[in-house]
Amino acid sequence: MITGSHNPSEYNGFKLCDGHEALHGPEIQRIAQVIEARRFHSGQGSTTTRDALSDYREMLVSKFQLARPLKVVADWGQSIESTDRYTYGHCGRVADYGIKVAQAMGLNEDEQTTLRLGAYLHDVGKVKVPHEVLNKPGRLTEEEFEIVKHHPVWGLELLAAVEFPWDIKPIIRWHHERYDGTGYPDRLKGDEIPLNAQIICIVDVYDALTTTRSYRAALPREEALPIMEKSRHWWRDDVYQAFMRSVAVE
């Protein structure tokens, strides 16, 4: 769930999914400072951080037809988890793992914020996957897997009318693409795949292996990592190495 003050001056951060913070207080303050700087350089004069936060919130609210944007994120996140009891908390773990990989790669705060929000919404398209397919207690048929493979495209369709101030849509569409070109939905290859989508891809696979799913029990880290080693050609080498230096050693 999202929690947060309606008063920008009392704002401490939004929380979503299973209690993980999507945007921390310092990140919000920094966004406000960027807005303040842009207003100053555009000739609109200086403003206070509190005013900038108010302007920022007002801008987002207008884009979502008077609905708080991160409230929309929370609603979708809850919808995802309500359709698949085995992946409760998945988006929060993927976000946390993704930030650790991003930090190991030296990504800046803007890039980390984009990554975090993209992680929370990466599987939003699964709300259109039939329940009996999503929670099937066995191996999917080829036809069923083709349905599941549509969820990145469906995710973008759900977000088509939404304009985020963060470039999260490439994460949603391409988090199942692989560096060797064997992924989906567009079979992108190599550096055609955005870096943040590659990061979410590797941590998504790790979380899938190490948590219980409808079709198998969770694997311990010691068994999951050799499986990922065999599939390391799915990811750019520096992404894989950053994953091994951060998430894999915990």
Positions marked active-site: 126
Measured distance CA(239)–CA(102) in Å, rounded? 9
**DSSP character at residue 141:** P
Name every residue whose Cβ is closer than 8 Å to that of residue 113 and which is 6 or more positions away in sequence. 23, 27, 31, 166
Measured distance CA(60)–CA(70) in Å, rounded? 9
Distances 9 to 36, 42, 54, 65 between C-alpha atoms, Å:
15, 24, 9, 23
**DSSP character at residue 4:** -
Residue 23: enclosing H or E segment and its boundaries?
strand 20-24
Q: What is the dihedral of CA 220, 209, 128, 152, to 10 degrees?
A: 140
